[in-house]
Amino acid sequence: MSAPAFLAEYTRLAEPRLREFLESKRRIFAASPVALSDTYSLLCDYVLRGGKRLRGALVLVGYRAAGGAEDLGAALDASIGIELLHAYLLIHDDFMDRDELRRGGPTLHRSLGGDHIGGSLAVLLGSLCQGWAYELVLRHGGADGAAAMTRALEEVTLGQMADLRAPLGAPLSEKAVLELQRLKTGSYTFDLPLRIGASLAQAAAPLLEALSAYALPLGQAFQIADDLLGTFGAPEVTGKPNGSDLREGKRTLLVARALSGGTVADVAALLGGLGNADADVDALRAILRRSGAEQECRADARRLCAQALAALQQVALPAAVREDLEQIAKYAVGRAF
């Protein structure tokens, strides 16, 4: 499904500003007593390589939802902060998952050599992106924005820790998988950027609550769509290899549903293949389809998307903002169909 036009418009506005911000930081690396400019160039390439720019765009949507002024300067800079926060999380996630591709190019730790030093440099560069995210959000969103970001990062970190440890233990229930995914993705993908944008325009509590009621189920639907794409999508479309979640033994909703609904033989084969680097991914995909897990997850994503859209009916919003939020919800789920 094609991305909404306003994402392209946001990218047009934000990309030069993001590039300018990154250039302003290059002097720090140039002044280092040890040559580091090459590492910074690789970071810039990674951050500027593209992506949906969804989270940054949602900052502006939240700002407009609360009646923000036509001058988007502060909101645009805060949105760049959220994009840098996303880059930080992706860089660390790529390293932890040993992924080699992101957005059609090498992950940062891989472009830095893929060894211990390269991985360590990537983690440190990611942490710099986190610091710069706080710099921009504090500058424009104040203490409330920074507090919201801290709460979201707390949840994302716990979710990532659970995601890493889950394959080492017993299979998770569907409820546990959804909670893990809420922590890892739902808290910062939609709720945080909308909340920061709306707070910049001094949004009242009822609007913030309505935006959260939209954002939280949509975050879960988005993660389910991501799992479907990561398992069944074409790498040339997603920009990263498919089947890696199965080889890493990730406890996705697809896996939870297949384990609860598959035959004894299929459950045994799925458990035997999960986390196995040499697993027959096509055979595992066939189990996910045969068990009904794929179809059920698609239905779950649609249901959660409908729940998010229903929340928009509970609050007065500018017509253009409502349309943007509806388009983003349909895109978040529809890209996997």
Helix, strand, or coil (residue 106): strand
Q: Is the pLDDT of residue 17 over 90?
A: yes
Q: Is the pLDDT of residue 250 over 90?
A: no
pLDDT for 237: 62
pLDDT for 191: 95
**CA angle 150–155–161, rounded 5-degree value:** 125
pLDDT for 238: 60
Q: Using only the alpha carbons of the chain, give its radius of gyration.
A: 20
At which residue do the structure tokens 């760049």 appear?
A: 80
CA distance 309 to 113: 44
pLDDT tens by residue, 265-305: 999 999 999 888 888 999 999 999 999 999 999 999 999 99
Helix, strand, or coil (residue 240): coil
- The CATH class given to the 7-325 domain equals mainly alpha
Closest CA to 265 of 246, 291, 245, 231: 291
Phi-psi region of 262 (alpha: psi -120 to 50; beta: other; left: phi over 0): beta
CA dist list (Å): 90 to 96, 130, 204:
10, 11, 32
pLDDT for 245: 82
CA distance 134 to 107: 23
pLDDT tens by residue, 110-130: 999 999 999 999 999 999 999
CB 231 within 8 A of CB 287: no
Q: Is the pLDDT of residue 1 over 60?
A: no
Which strand (E) or helix (H) includes residue 101? strand 101-102
Buried b vs exposed e over 159-177: b needs ≥16 C-beta within 10 Å?
Answer: bbebbeebeeeebbeeeeb
Q: At residue 193, what is the residue type?
A: P
Helix, strand, or coil (residue 102): strand
Segments making up each domain of the chain, as ranges:
7-325
Q: Is the pLDDT of residue 72 over 90?
A: no
CB 331 within 8 A of CB 1: yes
CA distance 284 to 247: 10
Q: How much of the chain, in percent, has pLDDT values that exceed 90?
A: 72
pLDDT for 89: 96
- What is the value of pTM for the model shown? 0.91
